[in-house]
Structure 1
Amino acid sequence: MTIGLIIIGDEILSGKRVDQHFPKVVQLLAARGLQLGWAEYLGDDPERITATLRRTFATSDIVFSCGGIGATPDDHTRQAAAAALGRPLVLHEEGRRNIEQRIVQVAREAGKEADLNAPENLQRLKMAEFAAGASLIPNPYNNVAGFALGTHYFVPGFPVMAWPMIEWVLDTHHADLHNREARAERSVLVWEAAESALTPLMEALESAFAGIKVFSLPSVGDAHTRRHIELGVKGAPDQVEVAFARLCAGLDALHAEYSPPPG
């Protein structure tokens, strides 16, 4: 089961805001022995969001979607999720109660009496309109919930809300996956080598070890560091050490200069 991440918002694509979700989700997953399989960035385009979700709903992937679940005209994720599944938008009763409780709380803190029928408060209730069959994801920041449809989880774009909600999902719905598949990684720095010269060795390693991926991270160097490639293997721990020994032997056969990476 692959884990995917969708990040939604014109403000990300325009550069008005810098995405913080990708590195944080990678960190949250790594802390549980998990890793991200793919990520996509989308603008506030309802047709594109719908098409993307229609495609991902057709998989068995665990998908986190950040952003676009508010009630302003540029928020389309709730509607797109419903359209992708061919379901109607319905007012989630528990979600409605959560929002009304929040409205009352904010009014009391301001020394006022809440009018739940005021137009602005009725507009806020749209944040509890989800595709039929959705379940709630609790929001510890302001109690305005996100929602889940199967293994798709929709949270706000605000990191202070999204990140604890994603953690809750991982620990509540997918704790069985935590540390289920241990992974290891070993690498070396290969100095002044061309990737093309190392490609046959990389291909041979992946062919020989089914549970291993070979990675190559080239650097052009600078005034302080020579040109080099970080070459390594990652995957099942019981294969990594053997594959790494084979990698080093292959580098020796090529008379390549290499050393351990710093740290």
Structure 2
Amino acid sequence: MSNQVNTIGLIVIGDEILSGKRVDAHLPKVVQLLAARGLQLGWAEYIGDDPARITATLERTFASGDIVFSTGGIGATPDDHTRQAAAAALKRPLVLHPQGAENIRQRVLQVARDEGKEVDLNAPENLQRLKMAEFAEGAELIPNPYNNVAGFALGSHYFVPGFPVMAWPMIEWVLDTHYPHLFNRQARAERAVLVFDGAEAALTPLMEDIEATWPDVKVFSLPSVGDAQTRRHIELGVKGDPAQVAAAFVRLCEGLDAHRAEYEPIG
């Protein structure tokens, strides 16, 4: 789209997603957060807790120049590998981020105060927590409003926890802080019809012609095999720049008429 030259990607990390122990909620939420700002997700990937695969994926996505959000794996337990993989992908050392470490210490002290307990910041468990502030050299912090344990940014890659209550406001903060210049809050238009008993292959030239004529319009085709209640049909439509969608939709209907297709508008 002419108002969005940057491709935005999402990486969801965690064995629990691939095993089915948890159902991913990040993909639909990120789509929603982007849509509210007139943006669109370009791609998404799911990766298990495999250090080599995470590193290889990040090597590729760092090289792409895309804006990438990565959820999960930034904790300090043995199955958390994202911080280390990001450093390896960029061939940078892991270093303790001073402000990130201080945030963690303050969080530990606050929890102790709330519980009326004494705390030793040099206790092994608290030193272990500081590993959550070890990032690739040059990383910047992403504030975490839930517990102040920060995520981190490396270039146009943004790494947040797997917990939605933390991840989603952090992603919103990144978008609103770093990318408001990409926002296009103008309503995007979409027009579609149901084409009954048609073949996508026969309609492909029409779809290609529309996209070639209107560069800020995308054609979508969603076939359905039908069932006892509905006929076999294709949801065929155009979406994108409102100024171009109207004309593209007229061409779509004219093309369907030329094919003597049976169709009806949606909405």
TM norm. shorter chain > 0.5:
yes
User: Residue 33 of structure 2 aligns to which amino acid in structure 1?
Assistant: L
Aligned to 2:220: 215
2:245 counterpart of 1:240: yes
Aligned to 2:153: 148
Shift of the alpha carbon at 1:175? Answer: 1.1
Q: Which of 89, 99, 102 in structure 1 is aligned with 2:107? A: 102
- Distance of aligned partners of 1:209 and 1:151 in 2 relative to their CA distance in 1, 3 Å threshold: same
Q: Which of 40, 44, 49 in structure 2 is aligned with 1:39? A: 44
CA distance in 2, matches of 1:52, 1:181: 34
Aligned to 1:202: 207
Please list, as runs of the form range in 1=range in 2, the aligned pairs for 1:136-175 lying within 5 A after superposition: 136-175=141-180
2:165 counterpart of 1:121: no
CA distance in 2, matches of 1:8, 1:64: 11
| Aligned-partner SS, 1:40 | strand
Q: Is the 8 A contact 2:37 2:185 kept in 1?
A: no
User: Residue 41 of structure 2 aligns to which amino acid in structure 1?
Assistant: L
Shift of the alpha carbon at 1:109? Answer: 1.4
| Aligned-partner SS, 1:113 | coil
CA distance in 1, matches of 2:239, 2:62: 29
2:80 counterpart of 1:69: no
- CA deviations over 1:14-40 (Å, ceiling 9, x no partner): 111000000000000000111101111
- CA deviations over 1:143-196 (Å, ceiling 9, x no partner): 100000111000000000000000000001111111178632211111111212
Shift of the alpha carbon at 1:222? Answer: 1.9
Q: TM-score, normalised by structure 1?
A: 0.97
Q: Work out the number of aligned pairs and report it.
A: 262
Shift of the alpha carbon at 1:60? Answer: 1.9
Shift of the alpha carbon at 1:204? Answer: 2.0
Percent identity over the alignment is 80
CA distance in 2, matches of 1:204, 1:33: 25
Q: Is the 8 A contact 2:160 2:170 kept in 1?
A: yes
| Aligned-partner SS, 1:68 | coil
CA distance in 2, matches of 1:148, 1:256: 51
CA distance in 1, matches of 2:148, 2:216: 43
Structure 1, unmatched stretches of 5+, are: none
Task: Give the aligned CA root-mean-square deviation in angstroms.
Answer: 1.2
2:63 counterpart of 1:58: yes
CA distance in 2, matches of 1:136, 1:203: 44
